[in-house]
Amino acid sequence: MANNDTRDRVALLLRRAGFGAGPKELERYVGLGVDGTLDELLHPERVEEDFDGLLDSLSGHLIDLQNIEDVQTWWLYRMVRTKRPLLEKLTLFWHGHFAVANSKVSNPLAMHTHLATLRQYGFGGFRDLLQAVSQDPAMLIWLDGNTNRKAAPNENYGRELLELFTLGVGNYTEDDVQASARSFTGWNLRQDPLNGAQYFFDRNQHDFGQKTFLGQTGPLDGGDILDIVVKQQATAERITKKLFTFFAHPNPEPAVLQPFVKTYLDSKFDIRSVVAAILHSDAFYSDTSRYGHIKSPVEYTVGTVRLLDVQVRERSLIVALRSMGQEILNPPNVAGWAGGNAWVNPSTLLERFNYGVRVATGRGGPNDAGLLLKPTALLGEDVQLSDGATIVDRLSKVLSIQFSPEATDAIFAYLQSPLTYPPYVTGIPNPQQQQLATDARLRGAFTLALASTDFQIG
């Protein structure tokens, strides 16, 4: 039998390297142990899954990839149901890193293809990922690569590649930006009758002249720029810090990051190796990590659905996510979502509470954020409201969290308060009325749990 430390570590892994797991799924992973769970998460190719085949059967019938809400819905469907959670979680990370938004691209199919690119390359070498993203139709539209010509270089992509995607501010000059922009001239788009916008290299618009970039001179092209930036110490530090922050906690000390920076450089920029090092590290399992990570709206909503086996129509999550400040496929700007404390303000926190209410009470059903079918299916058919301590303990296990004393007292007091009945119930309630009132009280306990600070973090 697994000890509590193993269970806690596996549950943390499944929350951070995925979107959480319901009781049965959690037990399977606990049986694998921490190392076995990590091995499966880090090698998604070993897990059988065929979303692409399913999409082919649905396209043109239930899914229209020319409709942005359908593309968003399909991605949420994958997040909720995937057996390769780390692959999908890493796709979410890269979506925030490269931050392409349909608000400008205005091409849902290109956005769907962009996600497929992130999913295909995001677990491999960073150099290959940068190449694929640099030639991605959505990115070429998003940062105006399709207007980058030798006679009038457009600096948008060349600048953001250095500022946001690799080196970071302070590690390049304006001359480097200009050289980068010139190097990417001719990386353009053309329309394919069957597949829409596609990358092609327009030799007539490429600047083949001499350029100097980060001290290297030659007839550099975009590929040369990528070769140079991926091996820079500044890139190693920036990428590993963002990955660590995403999976563990913000503001890591340089000493914490140093092993991951070394892994990035020693592995020739292999993202899987860096993520593996992070998820194996003591820093990942530290108290700072456990209690210093505020769940993003996607982690909160999708995690709730997976943890509680909620019946949901994924399309209903789009509005909730938008209200919480994270509309997927529409990040707010080129820098993506700020994350951390920025996720929480009076408006977004209220929406989180309302989401929890809708799920736990079933108001609106599957069309309105989801429906928790039967509380006793998760807490046990033998639960008694008089035994509040047992219910709080089981809630803690179901949600894979530790309640603070304040949250424990609040849930316990709520469970012990007298049951309430509709006005039409007079006299002594019959057994059915008592059961309905008990069910409502248990749903209320789930509502308080989902609204707790303890569930917002971790």
How many residues in the chain? 458
- The pLDDT assigned to 366 comes to 63
Burial of 213 (0-12, 13-18, 19+ CB in 10 A): buried
- Which residues have a Cβ under 8 Å from the Cβ of 134 and sit 6 or more positions away? 145, 157, 161, 184, 187, 222, 226
Place of tokens 């993203």: 133
The predicted pLDDT at position 266 comes to 98
Instruction: State the pTM of this model.
Output: 0.95
Question: What are the residues whose beta carbons fall under 8 Å from the beta carbon of 381, sequence distance 6 or more?
Answer: none
Question: If we measure between CA atoms, which residue out of 296, 342, 289 comes closest to residue 456?
Answer: 296
Instruction: List strand residue ranges (DSSP E) for 195-319, in order.
Output: 196-201, 211-213, 216-218
pLDDT at site 370: 65
The candidate with the shortest Cα–Cα distance to 332, out of 350, 352, 316, 348, is 348
What are the E-state strand segments in 67-171? none
5: Cβ contacts below 8 Å, ≥ 6 apart: none
CB neighbours of residue 355 within 10 Å: 24
Q: What are phi and psi of 189, to 5 degrees?
A: -125, 150
Residue 365's pLDDT is what? 61
Q: How far apart are CA 142 and CA 243, in angstroms?
A: 23
pLDDT of residue 192: 85
Q: Render each residue's pLDDT in the chain as its tens digit; 458 residues.
A: 467 899 999 999 999 999 999 989 999 999 999 999 999 999 999 999 999 888 888 877 788 999 999 999 999 999 999 999 999 999 999 999 999 999 999 999 999 999 999 999 999 999 999 999 999 999 999 999 999 999 999 999 999 999 999 999 999 999 999 999 999 999 999 988 777 789 999 999 999 999 999 999 999 999 999 999 999 999 999 999 999 999 999 999 999 999 999 999 999 999 999 999 999 999 999 999 999 999 999 999 999 999 998 888 899 999 999 999 999 999 999 999 999 999 999 999 999 999 999 899 876 566 666 677 788 889 998 989 989 899 999 999 999 889 999 999 999 999 999 998 988 888 899 989 998 899 999 999 999 999 999 999 98
- What pLDDT score does 368 carry? 64
Q: Do residues 398 and 307 make contact, with C-beta atoms less than 8 angstroms apart? A: yes
